[in-house]
DNA sequence: GAGGAGACTGTGAGCGTTAACATCCCCCAG
DNA sequence: CTGGGGGATGTTAACGCTCACAGTCTCCTC
């Protein structure tokens, strides 16, 4: 910067002013400085700036397995929204979710001087780990526990499950079986709650849950069991990947979908429209989740974080395709 | 830091030494300092450290649409490897790939003071944009153009396509049709080259390519065309998502797989084992790609980047499942 | 008991930027 | 013609850390 100042024949402060679009710089001086910058190939040092301004313009994101469609889409949405707002994004992807892991990640980001943190905390254990967060750093949780002490943005899982289950009941099915996600996941719990709620409200029997782990394989195994049960006519599967496994198991066992059994998934992955048959499912607007979480976070950062915690719920969208049909009498 | 020093009754330098595990600190002093840190809830400021050491211990990653399985997995692998090596990862996900976008992203990261950059540049245009990279920042490209002026780590696409095509030829198919990826993508080109190479080497006719865009829908559309062509007995699809679309189109048209037509995909997404039928495909080891790229990058950073550029090719793995069978005479 | 080699600790400078304040100059109102 | 307001610029001091160097103290060797 000093070099640029020398070449342009001004002080380093004027160079700084040009770089920060300060109004009180003569047009001619500005041109001269810009020319010097160009000539020297000067690039400003954001680290030094962060040191004095105490703002890094970097946001931290803590997530779990960004290979999964849900987290990947959420993180993508967050990243886009952050960059649009002029912020960098520093990501920590956890391999396993445990309190220590989340805590370390948070501490790690806080040391790095991020201005705020978004935690994609879909597990109960992760949500709990937010309790001992680094003080002084604004934070928002995505898909987290709404009981905690932070702002939360999430898709309404209960509502999504309700839509799915009601759709199946509406088609005349006596009751609906459920292949769930892993028990620690908040999303899995929400989907169970929504499903169970509809059944109970309608006075329907509540079948035993078939537990899965989000993977197609676990769906496949659940599907094999369901295929052997004559009484099953409708299944609500907690995500599309497992639904694919269920469909596969049904296909192998000669169980027709939607002829004998109707199947509904959750997520609306891009593939689900091309499953056999195309899957009726619940779409989550991950882009909206990302945008909203960044919006709330930035508001907290600007306000100095003594804002009341917000709870924002994004509504899901139900997509009817070809894997559901009226019950066959 | 000064506060900690005061409480512990030492100089700020000694605090720094404790924080950096310097050997020459008396055990008792160390304990005292640690106690003071704990008492004050002190957290070191990595920004200030980066300013003086001129190393941020942050790596930049530029990628394209991290919602897609390939890029998501690659970025995940990179992030894991980087964190294991004690580095942060700052990510920029591009919405569109063009020279200006890549250039801006690179410049953006360089200003932020990253120690090195990994560019996931699967398109020809992105690879070209690396030409005007910010000088002085070590860089490695993943899935990039091997002709450029940077180190490149990639999966051997040509070999993968070769394996797929030879497998089909080996099953007695006269020739193999191909649903390709978008023309600008290097991976699409590599897969075309491998496929074409085998056909030409074997003196087989080379059918016209059906162009796709990686999406299941484009595969579905190609599948509809292929289903109408009596002479088609084998199809090599450039990724699993499109292969799903092809399978769907075939199912709708009553074309049996693998009875009448054999289908091979590429990527081995977790779902492909549960397609109908389970998909024969080519697996890419994204974890290895991530680890290797970080390894090369760190070597360049430590050496001061005047190392010769490296080219590392990760071999693909062929997975035979149930979507391919000997040709029916 | 002197000399010296370590081990341990402290002092001061400086990394590249912005904030705060000081200065200069021009122009206009009174 | 003069005072003052404000635009344009410069000067100085941080920001929180590490590096280089200078001590001080202890203990061992001859």
- What is the sign of the dihedral through the CA atoms of A166, A171, A172 and A176? negative
CA distances from A214 to A181, A184, A241, A252, B38 (A): 6, 12, 7, 20, 41
CB atoms within 10 A of CB A125: 15
β-sheet with B234-237: strand ranges across: B210-211, B177-180, B234-237, B262-264
* Residues sharing a CB contact under 8 Å with residue B271, sequence separation 6 or more, in sequence order: A216, A241, A244, A271, B240, B244
Whole-number Å distance, CA B46 to C1' D12? 26
Closest Cα in chain A, distance from residue B200 (Å): 33
Tell me if B276 and A274 make a contact (CB, 8 A cut-off): no
Q: Which nucleotide is nearest to B32 (CA to C1')?
A: C9
Categorize the per-residue pLDDT at B168 as very low, low, confident or very high, splitting at 50, 70 and 90.
very high
How wide is the angle at C-alpha A212 spanned by C-alphas A210 and A213, nearest 5°? Answer: 165
* pLDDT tens, residue by residue, B227-258: 999 999 999 999 999 999 999 999 999 999 99
3-state helix, strand, coil in chain B (%, to 5): 45, 15, 35
**B274, A67: Cβ pair inside 8 Å?**
no
pLDDT confidence tier of residue B328, bands split at 50, 70 and 90 = confident
Predicted pLDDT of residue A309:
87
- Nearest nucleotide from residue A13 CA, by C1' atom: D10
pLDDT at A303 (0 to 100): 82
User: What are B26-44's pLDDT values in tens digits?
Assistant: 989 999 999 999 999 899 9
Q: Which residue has the higher pLDDT, B214 or A328?
A: B214
**In which residue ranges of chain B is CATH 1.10.260.40 found?**
2-44
Selecting from A47, A79, A111 the residue whose C-beta is nearest the C-beta of B51 gives A47
Chain A residues with beta carbon closer than 8 angstroms to that of B270:
215-216, 241
According to the model, what pLDDT value does residue A183 have? 92
Q: How far is the CA of B51 from the C1' of C10 (A)?
A: 23
Instruction: Look up the CATH architecture of domain A157-284.
Output: 3-Layer(aba) Sandwich (3.40)
In angstroms, rounded to a whole number, what is the distance separating the alpha carbons of residues B222 and B202?
25
Asked if B89 and A75 touch (Cβ cutoff 8 Å), the reply is no
Is residue A138 within 8 Å of A115, Cβ to Cβ?
Answer: yes
- For strand C, give the nucleotides within 7 A of a protein CB: 7-12, 14-20
What is the predicted pLDDT for the residue at B246? Answer: 98
Average pLDDT on B116-120 reads: 93
Task: Write down the H helix ranges in B148-272.
Answer: 157-170, 186-201, 216-227, 240-253
Check whether B51 has a pLDDT greater than 90: yes
Task: For residue B1, give the nucleotide whose C1' atom is nearest its CA.
Answer: D16
* A168 to chain B, closest Cα gap in Å: 24
Provide the CATH topology of domain B2-44: 434 Repressor (Amino-terminal Domain) (1.10.260)
pLDDT of residue A308: 85
Report pLDDT for B305: 57
Report the alpha-carbon distance of residue A171 to residue A165 in Å, rounded.
10
Mind listing the pLDDT tens digit for each residue in B63-84? 988 888 888 999 999 999 999 9
Proximity of residue A1 CB to strand C below 7 A: yes
Question: How much is the average pLDDT of B144-161?
Answer: 88
What is the total residue count of chain B? 329
- B58 forms beta bridges with B88
Q: Answer whether any strand C atom is within 7 A of the Cβ of A52.
A: yes
End-to-end CA distance of chain B: 80
Which of A72-76, A104-108, B212-216, B234-238 bottoms out in mean pLDDT, i.e. has the lowest? A104-108
Q: Where in chain A is the domain with CATH 3.40.50.2300?
A: 55-154+286-314, 157-284
Query: How buried is residue B304: exposed, middle or buried, by Cβ count under 10 Å (0-12/13-18/19+)?
Result: exposed
Arithmetic mean of pLDDT, A262-276: 96
Cα A103 to chain centroid, rounded: 19
Surface-to-core class of residue A200, CB atoms within 10 Å of its CB (0-12 exposed, 13-18 middle, 19+ buried): exposed
B125: pLDDT strictly greater than 90 = no
Superfamily of domain A55-154+286-314: Response regulator (3.40.50.2300)
Specify whether the CB–CB gap between A34 and A2 falls below 8 A: no
Tokens of A259: 């002829």
Q: Is the CB of A12 under 7 A from strand C?
A: yes
Q: Do B43 and A134 touch (CB under 8 A)?
A: yes
Would the pLDDT of B129 be above 90?
no
- Reduced to 3 DSSP states, what percent helix, strand and coil does chain A have, rounded to the nearest 5? 45, 15, 35
Model confidence at B165, in pLDDT bands (50, 70, 90)?
very high
Q: CA–C1' span, A34 to D6, in Å?
A: 25
> Is A217 within 8 Å of B44 when comparing Cβ atoms?
no
Closest Cα in chain A to B72: A67
Q: Which residue has the tokens 């050496």?
A: B303
Contact B92 A79 (CB under 8 A): yes
C1’ C6 / CA B46, Å: 32
Mean pLDDT of chain A: 92
Q: How far is B97 from chain A (nearest CA, A)?
A: 14
Residue B287's nearest CA partner among A95, A84, A303 is A95
3-state secondary structure of A314: strand
CA dist., res. B150 & res. B120, Å (int): 12
Length B51 CA → C13 C1' (Å): 15
Residues of B in contact with A92 (CB under 8 A): 79, 83, 88-89
Rounded to whole angstroms, the distance from the CA of residue A202 to the C1' of nucleotide C11 is 79
Tokens of A11: 């002080």
Q: Residues spanned by CATH 3.40.50.2300 within chain B? A: 54-154+286-313, 157-284
What backbone torsions phi and psi does residue B80 show, to the nearest 5 degrees? -60, -50
Question: Which residues pair with residue B88 across a beta bridge?
Answer: B58
Q: Which of residues 15-34 of B touch strand C (CB under 7 A)?
A: 17, 23-26, 28-29
pLDDT (mean) for A88-108: 86
Residue-wise pLDDT for A126-149, tens only, equals 888 887 776 778 999 998 877 667
Q: How far is the CA of B3 from the C1' of C22 (A)?
A: 33
Any strand D atom closer than 7 Å to B313 CB: no
Q: How far is A329 from chain B (nearest CA, A)?
A: 26
A299-302 long-range contacts (CB < 8 A, ≥24 apart) are A300/A116, A300/A138, A300/A139, A300/A140, A300/A151, A301/A115, A301/A116, A301/A138
Residue of B nearest to A43 (CA): B111
C1' (D26) to CA (B44) span, angstroms: 32
Report which DSSP code applies to B172: T
| Average pLDDT for chain B | 92
> Could you report the per-residue pLDDT of A161-219, keeping only the tens digit for each?
999 999 999 999 999 999 999 998 999 999 999 999 999 999 999 999 999 999 999 99
B54-154+286-313 maps to CATH 3.40.50.300: no
Q: Which residue of A has its CA nearest to B73?
A: A67
- The Cα of B219 is separated from the nearest Cα of chain A by a number of Å equal to 10
CB atoms within 10 A of CB B268: 22
Least confident of A31-45, A124-138, B254-268, B313-327: A124-138
> What per-residue confidence (pLDDT) applies to B235?
98
Q: Do the chains contact at A276 and B134, CB–CB below 8 Å?
A: no
For A171-218, give the secondary structure using H, E and C. CCCCCCEEEECCCCEHHHHHHHHHHHHHHHHCCCCCCCCEECCCCHHH
Cα–Cα distance for residue pair A232/A175, rounded to 1 Å: 8
pLDDT at B182 over 90: yes
* Pairing outcome for strands A317-319 and A281-283: antiparallel
Instruction: Check whether B187 has a pLDDT greater than 90.
Output: yes
Instruction: Find residue A155's DSSP bridge partners.
Output: A314
pLDDT digits (tens, 9 = 90+) for B297-307: 999 988 875 77
Question: In sequence order, what are the residues at sequence separation of 6 or more whose Cβ sits closer than 8 angstroms to the Cβ of residue B76?
Answer: A65, A66, A67, A93, B286, B290
Residue of A nearest to B242 (CA): A271
> What pLDDT score was predicted for residue A97?
76
pLDDT band at B329 (very low <50, low <70, confident <90, very high): low
Cβ-nearest to A72 among B44, B72, B217: B72
**Tokens at A306, concatenated:** 């003594």
User: Cα distance from A204 to chain B (closest Cα, Å)?
Assistant: 32
B320 touches strand C (CB under 7 A): no
Nearest nucleic acid nucleotide to B8, CA to C1' distance:
C9
Give the closest of A46, A79, A247 to B91, CB-based.
Answer: A79
User: Closest to B76 (Cβ–Cβ): which among A67, A89, A216?
Assistant: A67
What is the side-by-side order of every strand in the sheet holding A234-237? A210-211, A177-180, A234-237, A262-264
């Amino acid at each position: 910067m000093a070099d640029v100042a020398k070449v342009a024949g001004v002080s380093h402060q004027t160079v700084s002013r040009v770089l920060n679009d300060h109004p009180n710089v003569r047009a001619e001086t500005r041109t001269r400085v810009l020319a010097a910058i160009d000539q020297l190939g000067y690039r400003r040092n954001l680290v030094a700036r962060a040191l004095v301004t105490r703002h890094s313009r970097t946001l931290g994101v803590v997530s779990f397995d960004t290979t999964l469609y849900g987290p990947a889409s959420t993180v993508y949405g967050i990243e886009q929204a952050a960059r649009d707002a002029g912020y960098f994004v520093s990501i920590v992807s956890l391999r396993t979710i445990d309190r220590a892991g989340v805590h370390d990640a948070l501490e790690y980001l806080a040391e790095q001087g991020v201005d705020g943190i978004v935690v994609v905390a879909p597990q109960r254990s992760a949500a709990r780990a937010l309790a001992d967060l680094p003080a002084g750093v604004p934070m928002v949780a995505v898909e987290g526990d709404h009981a905690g002490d932070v702002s939360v943005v999430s898709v309404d899982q209960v509502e999504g499950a309700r839509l799915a289950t009601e759709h199946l009941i509406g088609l005349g099915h006596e009751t609906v079986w459920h292949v769930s996600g892993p028990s620690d996941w908040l999303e899995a719990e929400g989907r169970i709650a929504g499903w169970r709620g509809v059944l109970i409200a309608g006075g329907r029997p509540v079948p035993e849950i078939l537990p899965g782990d989000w993977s197609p394989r676990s769906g496949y195994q659940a599907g094999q069991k369901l295929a052997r049960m004559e009484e099953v006519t409708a299944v609500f599967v907690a995500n599309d990947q497992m639904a694919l496994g269920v469909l596969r198991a049904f296909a192998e066992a000669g169980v027709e979908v939607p002829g004998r059994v109707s199947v509904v998934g959750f997520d609306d992955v891009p593939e689900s429209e091309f499953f056999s048959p195309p899957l009726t499912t619940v779409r989550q607007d991950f882009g909206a989740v990302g945008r909203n979480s960044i919006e709330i976070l930035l508001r907290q950062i600007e306000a100095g974080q003594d804002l009341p915690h917000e709870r924002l719920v994004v509504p899901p969208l139900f997509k009817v395709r070809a894997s559901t049909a009226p019950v066959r009498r």
